Each structure stands twice: as C-alpha cells, then as structure tokens.
Amino acid sequence: MIVVMELAARAEQIGAVQQKLVQAGYVMQAVKGARGLIIGAAGKGGIDHQALAAMPGVDRVVPVRQPYKLVSRDLGGETSLVKVKDLVIGGRDLTVIAGPCAVESWEQLLDTAQQVSRAGAVVLRGGAFKPRSSPYSFQGLEVKGLELLAAVGALTGLLTITEVVDEASLELALTYVDLVQIGSRNMQNFRLLQAVGRSGKPVLLKRGFAATVEEWLLAAEYIVASGNENVVLCERGIRTFEIATRNTLDLSAVALVKKRSHLPVMVDPSHATGDRDLVGPMARAAVAAGADGLIVEVHPDPGRALCDGAQSLTPEAFVALMQELQPVAAAVGRAVGGGGAL
Ligand code: PEP
Ligand code: MN
C-alpha cells in the first residue's frame, strides 16, 4: 500500500503511522517529494486500511498490489515531471539527448555538441567511464572526459549526462554533469542505486538487458526509496534469441511502464538496434508508442569512433531524424522541442 500524508502532517503524526505499520509487520520506505510525504509499505496485510486512513495527518491510503510502491501509478495522476535546471522531462515536449557513445576529445565533443544542439537536442551525452564487454576495449577518459563534458556543456548551453559505474565514478560525476545514467549492466547494482538515490541527482535508469519490467521498476524503487524522485526510465533493448540486431527493442514495455508507473520513459534506439540504419525507424516508433524522449548516439566520424560507431548517426543524419520525428510527435500530441512546455 501507499500512505499519502497530508502536506501539513506533523512529525508525531507521521511517527504514529509508521509505528502502526511496523507493528503490523510492514516494511516501509518514505519519500518526501512534490506531493508531500508518501510512505510505501509492503507486508502480509492484515492492517485495517480504513482505520489507517482515519489516523491524524493521513490524507489517503492506496492499496498497491505491485511489489514496487513509490514508483507505481496506483496513486493516479499524470506522469511525474523530472526537472533538470530549465528542462522538464515527462511533459508535452519530448526530450532528446544526443552525443557520442564515449567522450574522445575536445574537438569531437564540441563538434558533436554544436551540431546536435542546432538540431534540437537539449542534453549532451558522452561516456567517461565505459563499461565495455572486453577489458581490451577503450574504457573511457574518466575524469578528463567529465571535464570535457562540463566545458562543452557550458560553452554550448547543453545540459550533460554521463554513465556512472560505481560509487567512486558517481562521486566524481556529481560535480560535473546535470544527470547521471545507470547503464544496463548496472541496473541491479543495488548499492549504486541507493547511492544515486541519496545523491538526489536526476538519473536516467536504463533497463537491464535481461531484466523484466518488474525488476526494472523495482530498481527505480530503490532510487526513489533512497530519497531521489528524479528518475527517468530508459528502454534500450533486451537480449533475446534474435541476434540480427544488437538487442530487441521492447516497445511494448514503454506502453506497459507508462501504465504501471508514473515515471517518464525514454527510449535508446542506438543500443537497442546496434545499427544506424535502424535508429530512425525505431526512434519514430518509440515516439508513436508514447516515449517521453530519446537518447541517440551521434558521432562526427562514426567510422573512427572508439566505441559504438556502427550504431552512431552522423550529425547530418541526426538533423534529418529530428525533422522526421516532428509529424510523428504531432500525431500523438507531443512536440520535439527543448522541453519546458507542460
Ligand atoms: C551507453 O548509453 O553508452 C550504454 C553503455 O548503454 P547501455 O547501458 O544501455 O548498454
Ligand atoms: Mn554506446
């Protein structure tokens, strides 16, 4: 269940509700956010919801059958808005994040940033800590990469996002970027999820490539339960028997997650397909399916990219994609803009 406390609930009233839940054998997580204090509680049941709802300071009690509570849509209402400086993710405008898989150099990053910004992207992506399948592959520029991201972000006015792979990289990234990304391989790194939760930093939570939708939403629950409501989900394809594409883009998960959770959902058509020719069609399909935004890999010279060149768009192809998205967005009542309009 979820217990929504009144905005004016006093500390002793909150304490009394929590004590009641503990006595009834519930385990709970409380989060204070835009909607006031919300307590998610999981247990075997046996508590009288009406009596709980009648306690002083309680606004309402909402039964939630799902194992995740705080991220569930059972509370009703619109998709949550995640605000990053002036950007609003989850509103009418779609948010487009673009940039190279990995930060490689000042020239590479600045060139990409200027071109994607002109085309309408509002957040610059770039990996500084790359979780590569092979230890012999390029691992990222680490702190140097973060410095380049921050400098190029400041110069172009783009917000910035980078992947964090452990608590040490999170600590470093916090001072340099506007959003952090939890990658597919770390979706169930629960200590990292909790650390990102404590940091309060807006976070893009990729779906694990072998994670069910329920596991994905429970990963988001870890972050919110640790005190951070600023979570954006990202479907990036899952591993199936089909190896003709890098992953299988599960677009039904986008529609399902919008139904199950109030969190905004984005799609990564680059890692989902592994093939730049498929990025446009899947990006359009994602927007049609109700995604709140896209994260797309763009490189000025994909043939020479140190990471994921085959799935990276050229800046020119990215400009074309942004134009192609417009009628699709309009058809579903959205706009491809900078974010901001509710
Ligand atoms: C990435 O975005 O660079 C990345 C590694 O993605 P994923 O975690 O989805 O594989
Ligand atoms: Mn990549």
Ordered by where they begin, the domains of the chain are 2-63 (3.30.70.1140), 82-336 (3.20.20.70)
Apex 85 CA angle, 84 and 90, nearest 5: 40
Q: Ligand 1, closest atom to CA 182?
A: 8
Tell me the pLDDT tens digit for each residue of 8-60: 999 999 999 999 999 999 999 999 877 789 999 998 878 999 999 999 999 99
Q: What is the pLDDT of residue 339?
A: 42
152 in Cβ contact with 186 (< 8 Å): no
Could you tell me if 21 and 43 are in contact, meaning their C-beta atoms sit under 8 angstroms apart?
A: yes
Predicted local distance difference test score (pLDDT) of residue 81: 96
**Alpha-carbon distance 110 to 150, whole Å?**
11
The residue whose CB lies within 8 Å of the most ligand 1 atoms, and thus the one to mutate among 271, 279, 306, is 271
pTM for the full predicted model: 0.96
Atom 5 in ligand 1: residue holding the nearest Cα: 183
Which atom of ligand 1 approaches the CA of 206 most closely? 9
Establish whether residue 184 lines the binding site of ligand 1, counting it when its CB lies within 6 angstroms of any ligand atom.
yes
Q: What was the pLDDT predicted at 33?
A: 78
Instruction: Give nearest CA residue, ligand 1 atom 9.
Output: 184
* Ligand with minimal distance to 163 CA: 1
Q: What are 152-181's pLDDT values in tens digits?
A: 999 999 999 999 999 999 999 999 999 999
Q: Determine if ligand 1 sits within 6 Å of the CB of residue 208.
A: no
Q: Tell me if 206 CB under 6 Å of ligand 1.
A: yes
The DSSP line for 172-227 is HHHTT-SEEEE-GGGTT-HHHHHHHHHH---EEEEPPTT--HHHHHHHHHHHHHTT
Q: Give the ligand at the shortest distance from the Cα of 298.
A: 2
Indicate if ligand 1 lies below 6 Å from the C-beta of 249.
no
- Could you tell me if the CB of 334 is within 6 A of ligand 1? no
3-class DSSP state for residue 237? coil
CA of residue 219 to ligand 1 center, whole Å: 16
Burial of 303 (0-12, 13-18, 19+ CB in 10 A): exposed
Which ligand 1 atom sits closest to the C-alpha of 308?
3
Tell me which residues of the chain have a pLDDT lower than 50: 339-342
CA 271–ligand 1 middle distance (angstroms) = 6
CB distance 207 to ligand 1 below 6 Å: no
| Residue located nearest, by CA, to atom 8 of ligand 1 | 183
Q: Is the CB of 183 under 6 A from ligand 1?
A: yes
Q: Ligand 1 in contact with 99 (CB < 6 A)?
A: no
Ligand 2 is an ion; residues with CB less than 5 A from it: 101, 308
pLDDT at 45: 77
d(CA 224, CA 208): 18
The ligand 1 atom at the shortest distance from the C-alpha of residue 234 is 9
